[in-house]
Amino acid sequence: MTEPQDKSRRKFVAGAAVAGAGLGVAALAPGLHLIEVAGAAPQAPRAAGEPAPSTVRWGMLIDTTKCATGCDKCVTACHTENGINETVQDVRQGSQWIRKIDLKDPKNGRTHSLPMMCQHCEKPPCVDVCPTGASMKRADGIVLVDRHICIGCRYCMMACPYKARSFVHQPLTAQNPEVPRGLGCVESCTFCVHRVDKGLQPACVEACPERAMLFGDLNDPTSEIAKRLAQEPATQVRADLKLNVGVRYKGI
């Protein structure tokens, strides 16, 4: 796999198929290989000095029919990747960038499980209410907190309909060098922006053993996520708020 980032995903997959055909069926037999390669690099890493493109809108499709009850590998992967490793005095104060929710329909007893995190709204209420402009949306649709100017008022936590944001109540010392976070600031899921900029997938997507999470560009009709959204029924949580969220759920 030499320099796959220089090609578009599509060309690369086509190239891999040709290479596989050249080697015979055995090379392609698991079929998994192609999926893994395609999943490993959804886009080329952005060149140094280039801003995030406004033509892209990052989004996620979560298949709740695949998501297993009791599995929290996405949460663990998020904690590892983003350095959420502190011991808190009060468990209610712990940071939750992503959490698992178990749902049960009381009428028929159907249960399902899903991960809930920042939904990366097109019109984010957290950005609307922020008094300093710290809560912001990047050109490619990723909603972030600029901790340099966050004053920790927590208005955005009140405004978020998804309870996606957390506040850091204590000094931290064991941050991941690529993920700065600290006392007195609000934080939430960043879609692993430091990984996305490198052409990688968010940690939770990569960690999901059921492959229930799919990350990609909602604006690109050739992307896997856009194709699946065009074919399969998927819903937005609290679609009535008309926030046009970036995270879509299938099967709820």
Partner 1 sequence: MKAAALALLLALASAAALAGAPKPALKIENPGQCIAPTEEMRKNHMEMLKHQRDRTLRQGIRGEKASLNGCIECHASKATGSVLGKGGFCQECHAYAAVKLDCWDCHQPKAGFKHAGAVGVKP
Q: Which residues bind partner 1 (CB under 8 A)?
A: 46-52, 75-76, 79-80, 83-91, 94-96, 136, 138-140, 144, 146-148, 171-172, 174-178, 180-185, 193, 197-198
Pick between residue 95 and residue 119 the one whose CB is nearest to partner 1.
95
19 φ, ψ (degrees, to nearest 5) = -60, -40
Pick between residue 110 and residue 148 the one whose CB is nearest to partner 1.
148
Q: 10, 28, 7: which is closest to 19 by C-alpha? A: 28
Query: CB 183 → partner 1: shortest distance, Å?
Result: 6
Query: CB 204 → partner 1: shortest distance, Å?
Result: 13
Pick between residue 20 and residue 83 the one whose CB is nearest to partner 1.
83
Measured on CA atoms in the order 164, 233, 208, 13, is the torsion positive or negative?
A: negative
Pick between residue 57 and residue 181 the one whose CB is nearest to partner 1.
181
Pick between residue 84 and residue 229 the one whose CB is nearest to partner 1.
84
Query: CB 79 → partner 1: shortest distance, Å?
Result: 4
The stretches of 103-240 forming alpha helices (DSSP H) are: 125-129, 155-159, 193-196, 203-207, 224-231
Contact predicate 126/144, CB 8 Å: no
Query: Would you state the structure tokens that stand for residue 157, as one six-digit string?
Result: 């936590």
Query: CB 153 → partner 1: shortest distance, Å?
Result: 17
What is the torsion angle, in degrees rounded to the nearest 10, for the CA atoms of residue 209, residue 212, residue 218 and residue 223? 60
Kindly list the distances between the CA atom of residue 49 and the CA atoms of 8, 46, 117, 190, 197, in Å, as whole numbers in the listed order: 20, 8, 30, 20, 12
Query: CB 29 → partner 1: shortest distance, Å?
Result: 36
